[in-house]
Amino acid sequence: MKVAVVGATGLVGTKMLQVLSERNFPLTELIPVASARSVGQVVSYQGQNYTVVSMEDAISKQPDIAIFSAGGSTSLEWAPHFAAAGATVIDNSSAWRMDPEKKLVVPEVNGHVLEKTDKIIANPNCSTIQMVVALNPLHKAYGIKRIVVSTYQSVTGTGKNAVDQLIGERNNTAHNKVYPHVIDMNVLPHIDSFLANGYTKEEMKMVNETKKIMGDDSIRITATTVRVPVMGGHSESVNVEFEKDFDLDEVKNLLANSPGVVLQDDPANNVYPMPIHSHDRDEVFVGRIRRDESQENTLNMWIVSDNLRKGAATNAVQIAECLLEKELV
């Protein structure tokens, strides 16, 4: 089992190597891949050093699986070449997510849709992944009519330069400026670029991807995505209206027994999800569960997850594990 990690020296690529190692993914050969300026660098994996190779060299090695985290333009250019060489590509960018011929997969929600003919598989947006993991069991039980979500997203979602900006502002040291405004001690209601409808691309990703993953275009969704000065973990305030009424204890029981979900809902003892506690964890944490008293059949909840792990690297590795389990590679 040869596995190529494309973008191996980046923030998410480094996390992918960590997750592959931690989960003891059964690879026999690791092929770290990066841009021309990073070729020749050395990365460590399970105590061994591996030299970063070019796209062409990686393709010539004929990997079975190629996990991409190198940006949309790189994926659009190179993923088809890897697929043509026989690899199954799992892509972390937005390049293929809304392609009607490509699957958009969160294993706990729709891993069953994967087939042997899927040669390019899309990994969803980080904020979408954690929300659908939490909402899917409730959708099955009560039928979701409408979702209103506001996010509180870590700077790690933008990448290493954004982390450097936050640290530089906090310490008054030299740094790259990624955001149009100061991020330390501030909140930016602006993730990705603005569209003609006044929403950002990030907000529309949550709308469109959620419908595709859950296989239900009837769900109405509106989102406001916000960048906060946190270095790991995305948080979401979610208001969800259901077709049917629900019992709060039953809701909590459903969540507590759902794959990939950890219930943290004991406000009397100050127990609720926080990004600082989700760091380097693979689960989606859910709490602050309460009935919306202003509208029938409506629930408020708070969802937190490590955006570099379940929101990116871990979900991609779980897709690879799903492929192996179903003998699709």
pLDDT in tens, 23-66: 999 999 999 999 889 999 999 999 999 999 999 999 999 999 99
Give the containing element (helix H, strand E) for 209: helix 201-214
Asked if 221 and 206 touch (Cβ cutoff 8 Å), the reply is: yes
Give the type of residue at 166: L
Burial class (CB in 10 A: 0-12, 13-18, 19+), 301: buried
pLDDT given at position 263: 98
Residues contacting residue 282 through CB under 8 Å, at least 6 positions apart: 19, 260, 306, 309, 310, 314
- pLDDT reading at 11 higher than 90: no
Q: Which of 126, 139, 190, 322 is catalytic?
A: 126
Q: How confident is the model at residue 191 (pLDDT cuts 50, 70, 90)?
A: very high
Q: How confident is the model at residue 301 (pLDDT cuts 50, 70, 90)?
A: very high
Percentage of the chain exceeding pLDDT 70? 100
Asked if 254 and 245 touch (Cβ cutoff 8 Å), the reply is: no
**81 flagged as catalytic:** no
**C-alpha dihedral sign at 44, 48, 54, 56:** negative
Residues contacting residue 291 through CB under 8 Å, at least 6 positions apart: 248, 298, 299, 300
pLDDT in tens, 56-78: 999 999 999 999 999 899 999 99
Q: Which of 175, 181, 234, 277 is catalytic?
A: 234
Mapped onto helix, strand or coil, the DSSP state of residue 239 is strand
pLDDT in tens, 83-120: 999 999 999 999 999 999 999 999 999 999 999 999 99
**234 flagged as catalytic:** yes
Write phi, then psi, for 299 (nearest 5 degrees): -125, 145
Mean pLDDT within 251-261 = 98
Measuring CA to CA, which residue among 151, 130, 164 is closest to residue 11? 164
Place of tokens 């506001």: 150
Domain with CATH 3.40.50.720 in the chain: 2-124+312-325
Domain with CATH 3.30.360.10 in the chain: 127-307
Q: Break the chain down into helix, strand, coil percent, rounded to 5.
A: 35, 25, 40
- pLDDT reading at 145 higher than 90: yes
> 2-124+312-325 in CATH: which number?
3.40.50.720
Mapped onto helix, strand or coil, the DSSP state of residue 187 is coil
Give the C-alpha separation, 209 to 99, whole Å: 11
Residues contacting residue 182 through CB under 8 Å, at least 6 positions apart: 169
Q: What is the pTM of this model?
A: 0.95
Report the topology of domain 127-307. Dihydrodipicolinate Reductase; domain 2 (3.30.360)
Give the C-alpha separation, 236 to 231, whole Å: 15
C-alpha R_g of the chain: 20
State the Cα torsion 187-190-192-196 to the nearest 10°.
180
Give the C-alpha separation, 231 to 225, whole Å: 16
DSSP assignment of 107-166 equals: HHHHGGG--TT--EEEPPPHHHHHHHHHHHHHHHHH-EEEEEEEEEB-GGGT-HHHHHHH
**C-alpha dihedral sign at 79, 69, 26, 101:** negative
Q: How confident is the model at residue 123 (pLDDT cuts 50, 70, 90)?
A: very high
Give the C-alpha separation, 66 to 113, whole Å: 19
Q: How confident is the model at residue 320 (pLDDT cuts 50, 70, 90)?
A: very high
pLDDT given at position 243: 98
Give the C-alpha separation, 147 to 240, whole Å: 5
Quick one: how far is CA 129 from the chain centroid? 5
